[in-house]
Structure 1
């Protein structure tokens, strides 16, 4: 059920994004940007399949600190979400702070066109390792499979939502749920902060929240000026090897 609902929501968001002429050009027009987008998308399906298998393995083999289904579902789901969001915030923060991890995350910031394509602009190793560790932690803590499935379904939908260039807003909920305008500030070439995945809660708690203003002028997106990271799927995926070789010389 979750898989079908999630897929329908994601397809709906992509279809709505097609109203944007630039998104249509980046999707169907000629040039390296189209090739990069589609290659990243196809490659992103591999770690998604891996994470599904990792989730099944974790539930079958890992011990749990709390017996699942002993808490009311609402409490279980809320706690699961907050723990997952805290871990995701920490993971996102350190990827921006340590060069050894940045080489597996810069791919998500390499693009200068803000759109839902960015969701697939990830390094497979980053997704597989981060997702597996998070799934294992939530399993060991004893959160129910239903809560975990619901969290990851909402995560997929909201991750796509807040990468949209269509100017969506949930009104006052934008103070709690990461909005496209809020996350766009994270992708500014000079941007720092706004590391939340679904919620702004931990950005507020740790002082890394930056709120968009109605009078903000458009700013350049992508990597900071002077960055030397490559553009193109193969070069981006293998960039960590060249950095590793350089450190050994």
Structure 2
């Protein structure tokens, strides 16, 4: 509570203040819109939900979460309308949740979920966004590296669009990875190696998978920075001038496909167990958000074992001394191994982004940017 009070005292009138209705308005709008999307998932489960992800949660959990979202949207929307002169957020939340109820709400029933050749990961997007926001927004306000950075900072809509697309296309990415793995399986698979890997305890497999994956990601990441045509795609990720939990989502879709394939295919060919792979995928999800977050963590000795925010922030720094440094995604040990480790004690970058001309704003313009014949922004 002392940290919360100190935050509001420090920011004064510019902060979201309890009692003015703005916080309730934003939460109402967000939960209302997410509830509407969740109802669409119940109406079209075979088309809008990812079959592999449905195994992670139960139908009852989804219905309970939807009920909580609807109640929060109505309740907080009413509070916003009563307390704040700008009532459009509360109205947005109440209209969205009202439409969700009109379409059936938590009462939508289905006997079974049919099969479709391709489905979108709308359920994955909803839960990932909800959990990330609930965890990281409070952390960024209470333990901020940059206390002045607002939740709705410039270009947050662009990064939210990237977050949406990358989660919605999860099955397409998995199909691409599986097809690549099948193509290579005929000559790259060793039964002896796979048998040895699978005989190891799951925790050992997990540690091995993290290190093997980071070796692959390290060299792929390094190529992104030194090969001009690859940098044009990777520059999209580095174009953000603010670092927070949402900034890591800004990745060109072509890079997503290449990186996921380059990392997951070797793990699949080596024969790591499903449990070890699932644990690694969870680590990716957590670390990708945490490494970019506006969270000031004093990692101590962990700074040399795990990629934490300060380490990865320096990779994004607009600082001449940090060009071509800190490529590792999971552990700085890989950078130490190849001579690209650099971390000043107790210091954080002051500027982020690419050198030279800034990239265009907006996801569509940035997706087209690497395909244009022009000089790319210089690597940061």
TM-score (ref. length: structure 1)? 0.83
d(CA) in 2 for partners of 1:166, 1:87:
27
Are 2:281 and 1:152 equivalent residues in the alignment? yes
Structure 2 residue 163 is matched with structure 1 residue 41: yes
Contact 1:23–1:115 under 8 Å retained in 2: no
C-alpha distance in 1 between matches for 2:132 and 2:357: 32
In 2, the alpha carbon distance for the partners of 1:244 and 1:79 equals: 41
Equivalent residue number for residue 149 of structure 2? 22
Q: How many residues align?
A: 238
- Is the 1:185–1:212 Cα contact (8 Å) retained in structure 2? no
Backbone CA RMSD of aligned residues: 2.9
Cα separation, partners in 2 of 1:245 and 1:110, compared to 1, 3 Å: closer
CA distance in 1, matches of 2:228, 2:211: 27
* Alignment partner of 1:222 out of 343, 353, 373: 353
Which of 330, 333, 339 is residue 198 of structure 1 equivalent to? 330
Match of 2:309 among 148, 155, 180: 180
Q: What is the aligned partner in structure 1 of residue 227 from structure 2?
A: 98
1:47: how far off?
Answer: 4.0
Higher relative contact order, chain-length normalized (CA < 8 Å, sep 6+): 1
User: What is the aligned counterpart of 1:241 among 371, 374, 379?
Assistant: 371
Q: Secondary structure at the match of 1:204?
A: helix
1:170-204 deviation per Cα after TM superposition (whole angstroms, max 9, x unaligned): 33211110111111111111332011101101111
Larger Rg: 2
Taking structure 2 as the reference length, the TM-score comes to: 0.56
> Could you tell me whether the CA contact under 8 Å between 1:229 and 1:236 is conserved in 2?
yes
SS of equivalent residue, structure 2 residue 248: helix
> 1:111-190, aligned counterparts within 5 Å?
111-190=240-319
Structure 1: unaligned runs, 5 residues or longer: 27-31
Report the counterpart of residue 29 of structure 1 in structure 2: none
Q: Is 2:359 the counterpart of 1:232?
A: no
Q: Is the 8 A contact 2:177 2:264 kept in 1?
A: yes
Contact 1:13 1:160 in 2 (8 A): no
